[in-house]
Amino acid sequence: MTTRLTTVRAGALTTVQDAGRPGHAHLGVPRSGALDAPAMRLANRLLGNDPDTAVLETTLTGCALRPDRDVAAVVGGAPCAVTVDGRPAAWGAPVRVPAGSVLDVGTATGGVRSYVAVAGGIAAEPVLGSRSTDLLSGLGPTPLRDGDVLAVGAPARPAPPPVAAPWPGPPAELVLPVRPGPRADWFTPAALRTLTSAAYRVSPHSNRIGLRTEGPPLQRLSTGELPSEGMVLGAVQVPPDGRPVIFLHDHPTTGGYPVVAVVPEPALAAAAQAVAGTPVRFTLA
């Protein structure tokens, strides 16, 4: 029989995520997928799942789930309190959740996004080869609501013995390496120096589409308008207010604001865990 998880508490934003949908940008489909992919993969490995098996990605306030059969689960990513029927349970290591018990993933005590992996993975219906929720296009499962029921897949292999693993902590300062973007010549030399020398902060208006920053605006050399052009993961786009926006996994595939720089993908996992107000520093890669 298929194990099912009932959503007791959906939290502020909980979505199903896996490795996403790379390769469909020419169709206007964003990549989506877990923002902190290393956290997703580590949680899966601790359960014996394939690394890119679908998990739940929570935002700040966690979630609570009730399985109808015994399951093994790992909560990782942003540190938080974990309980099973109100009793403290391990964070960052496998825990057993008996049938009918409530696994509660608490509010993040550091970072932004926690990941809930279960043995066998979340068995949502794939769309274009992925089970990920895409908030921009609306593809994939809808964000969780109280009362939603999720199917769990059959474990691919026996779970390994329970072990603890080192998890990276949320960044106290977000250091993002950048390479010059295709429209760097649209900005003044002083603006390019500002980008790599000034202090920025993570804006509370950040989301899965982009990490917005607060700080000194970048002055443009060209005042013209761009036709829409292709955008990539990690693009640092500069809207009219002059403050850089780093495109994350649900970013649009085209845009009309100039891209001053690009952040390499491996550096973006830390951006997923940077809370509002975290200092941001751009460095030349």
- HEC readout, the chain: CCEEEEEEECCCCEEEECCCCCCCHHHCCCCCCCCCHHHHHHHHHHHCCCCCCCEEEECCCCEEEEECCCEEEEEEECCEEEEECCEEECCCCCEEECCCCCEEEEEECCCCCEEEEECCCECCCCECCECCCCCCCCCCCCCCCCCCEEEECCCCCCCCCCCCCCCCCCCCCEEEEEEECCCHHHECHHHHHHHCCCCEEECCCCCCCEEEEECCCCCECCCCCCCCEECCCCEEECCCCCCCEEECCCCCCEECCCEEEECCHHHHHHHHCCCCCCEEEEEEC
- Same domain for 184 and 260, yes or no, is yes
Q: pLDDT digits over 168-211, tens only?
A: 999 999 999 999 999 999 999 999 999 999 999 999 999 999 99
Which pLDDT does position 222 carry in this prediction? Answer: 79
Residue 165: inside a domain, yes or no?
Answer: no
Res 148: pLDDT: 98
> Is residue 159 one of the residues assigned to a domain?
no
Same domain, 184 and 250: yes
C-alpha to C-alpha distance for 88 and 245, rounded to whole angstroms: 39
CATH code for the domain in which residue 255 is found = 2.40.100.10
Q: Domain limits at 20?
A: 3-152
**Confidence class of residue 161 from pLDDT cuts 50, 70 and 90?**
confident
pLDDT of residue 218: 97
Q: Global pTM?
A: 0.95
Note whether 182 and 96 are same-domain residues: no
pLDDT of residue 232: 94
Domain count, the chain: 2
8 A C-beta contact, residue 6 and residue 151: no
Residue 158 lies in a domain: no
Residues 139 and 178 placed together within one structural domain of the fold: no
> What does the pLDDT average to over 48-54?
96
Q: Is residue 162 part of a domain?
A: no
- Computed on alpha carbons and rounded to an integer, the radius of gyration of the chain in Å comes to 20
> Are residue 147 and residue 8 in the same domain, yes or no?
yes
Residue 100 lies inside a defined structural domain of this protein? yes
- Residues 80, 125: one domain? yes
pLDDT digits (tens, 9 = 90+) for 61-71: 999 999 999 99
Q: Does residue 163 fall inside a structural domain?
A: no
Domain assignment of residue 54, yes or no: yes
For residues 69 and 102, membership in a common domain is answered with yes
pLDDT tens track for 115-140: 999 999 999 999 999 999 999 989 99
In a domain, 157, yes or no: no
Q: What is the dihedral of CA 216, 222, 223, 227, to 10 degrees?
A: -110
In this prediction, residue 250 has a pLDDT band, given cuts at 50, 70 and 90, of very high
